[in-house]
A = this chain, B = another copy of it.
Amino acid sequence: MEKRIERVALAYSGGLDTSVAVPWLIEHYGCEVVCVAVDVGQGASELAGIEAKAAAAGAVACHVVDVREELVTDFIWPVLRAGAVYSRKYLLGTSMARPLIAREIVNVARLEGCDALAHGCTGKGNDQVRFELAFGWLAPDLEVIAPWREWAIRGRKDAEAYAIAKGVPVPPKKTSLYSRDRNLWHCSHEGGPLEDAANAPEADLFRITSDPAVAPAEGETVEIGFRAGTPISIDGLEMSPVALLETLNRIGGRNGIGRIDLIEDRVVGLKSRGIYETPGGTLLFAAHSELEQLVLDRGTLELKDDLARKYASLVYEGRWWGTEREALDAFIEVTQRKVTGSVGLRACRGSVSIVSRRSGHALYREELSTFEASDLYDHSDATGFIRLYGLPYRVAGPGSTAEPQAAAAPAAIDPSTVEARADGVRASNLVLR
């Protein structure tokens, strides 16, 4: 990298890793460092005094940007409407915060006249990919620096030594064995004893959900209201996006909802193991899915479910900013027009059940599902339906006369077997003739 870097905008968390990045960038690039801390709901304690930490590390400025409302409205709700789940279980909590954080870093970089962007992600994770794809889309003219892929620091001890050498205050020793990521949607846990896939997570690992085994027996019932696929109310009370999600996190959390344990495939070709807590999100996914099944026709549901997996891959792999996601969102928006109504859920000791569904757009209609014939459905219609729907099977099957060859008919009865079997069958049966 021959270009001279003058000033770099660094994604800054206040932890040891990004704190040592400040002097390292100054030393290796001879540049100024602007720290950017983005508030996505990681918690007040994480952000407290972060400007002072940045200053102590040598930064020329520190911006703290609160994007919590936007995170919910423009990143979390779209993923919820899409029904996007990665790797069978993962509700994408970390993945969908990254493109927003990256955008804020670019915004500050532009504001501060930076000529480079930096982040503190390691070289084996997904987040480096998510940051750098966003940077490439939004600001391909800015250099990208990833200290963890360049420097010789290889663990906490190295980092502490470097910090001390550079006069940077070392944050109090983390007592936790785990690497965590938390925002308004979820809390993730990786590393330490979790790296052995044969180990269950320790009971004290969890941060935002109770142990289902000891959660209150009475559980809790909650009704979530949606308008055009977007959650708007709890038990009939309209709430702001952040308040609604926080309320559901508390309800889900105290009832042990939303823990998963996952072996996932990272973008960079590795499998990794993580534990995720997504209490409110799990309730929201359940309610939204249920409402869709009430109001969407089958064709739309199936097509949307095909696309949900594409959407999830795209978000997980850092391809948020791009034409694909925008086009998928346009598709989803149309499907959500009638996803208005409410779903009652019961959260109890780790499991969620449906207690009610209501919508003015329901395609499920009680009168259609009864035995009685109606204008819309005549039992005899089924005869013609089945005959044509099944026509290819009558023509193509092993018993078809269309088949001139004595085709091998694996499913059809083999007469010799029948005889043999017949005896057995008859022996235990009543033959009345």
Q: List which A210-266 residues lie within 8 A (CB) of chain B.
A: 212-214, 217-219, 256, 259, 261-265
Chain A, 347-358, contact with B by CB distance < 8 Å: what is the 0/1 string?
A: 011110111111
Q: Among the listed stretches A168-176, A180-188, A377-385, which one makes contact with chain B, having 4 or more residues with CB under 8 Å of it?
A: A377-385
Chain B nearest CB: distance from A296 CB in Å? 7
Does A136 count as interface, using CB distance less than 8 angstroms?
A: yes
Q: Is the interface of A mostly helix, strand, loop or mixed?
A: mixed
Interchain CA distance A348-B217 in the complex, whole Å: 13
Beyond A299-B319, A327-B303, whether A393 also contacts B293 by CB under 8 A is no
Number of copies: 4
The answer to whether B294 and A393 have CB atoms under 8 Å apart is no
Question: At the interface, yes or no: A140 with Cβ under 8 Å from chain B?
Answer: yes
Distance to closest chain B CB from A75 (angstroms): 12
CB distance from A23 to the nearest CB of B (A): 14
Say if the beta carbon of A26 comes within 8 Å of chain B: no
Query: 1/0 contact trace for A400-417 toward B, CB 8 Å?
Result: 111111010011110100
Point out the residue from B146, B289, B407, B418 that lies within 8 Å of A110, measured CB to CB.
B418
A381 touches B379 (CB 8 A): no
Cβ-based interface call for A197 (8 A)? yes
Taken together as a complex, chains A and B put the C-alpha atoms of A122 and B378 apart, in Å, by: 11
Q: Does A48 contact B (CB under 8 A)?
A: no
Question: Is A298 part of the contact surface with B, judged by Cβ < 8 Å?
Answer: yes
Q: Is the CB of A197 within 8 A of B432?
A: no
Q: Verify if A133 is at the interface (C-beta below 8 Å from B).
A: yes
Chain B positions within 8 Å of A262 at CB level = 293
Interface string of A122-133 (1 = CB under 8 A from B): 111000110011
Alpha-carbon distance A383/B55, docked complex (angstroms): 29
Please state if B391 and A137 are interface contacts (CB–CB under 8 Å): no
A63 contacts the other chain (Cβ, under 8 Å)? Answer: yes
Residue pair A323, B335 in contact (C-beta under 8 Å):
yes
Q: Judging by beta carbons under 8 Å apart, are B418 and A111 in contact?
A: yes
Determine whether the beta carbon of B140 is less than 8 Å from that of A399: yes
A430 interface contact, C-beta 8 A:
yes
- What B residues does A165 contact at CB under 8 A? none
Q: Are B299 and A322 in contact (CB under 8 A)?
A: yes
A363, B431: Cβ atoms under 8 Å? no
A82 to B55 alpha-carbon distance, docked (Å):
54
Residues from chain B with Cβ under 8 Å of A64 in the complex:
425, 428-429
Q: What's the minimum C-beta distance from A91 to chain B, rounded to whole angstroms?
A: 15
* Residues in chain B near residue A399, CB distance under 8 A: 137-141
When each residue 417-433 of chain A gets 1 if its CB lies under 8 Å from chain B and 0 otherwise, what string results? Answer: 01001100110111111
A–B complex contacts, Cβ < 8 Å, 23 sampled: A51-B429, A107-B413, A107-B418, A123-B380, A195-B370, A197-B356, A200-B354, A213-B218, A269-B377, A269-B391, A270-B368, A271-B368, A297-B323, A297-B396, A299-B319, A299-B392, A321-B393, A323-B334, A328-B331, A330-B334, A360-B405, A378-B387, A384-B387
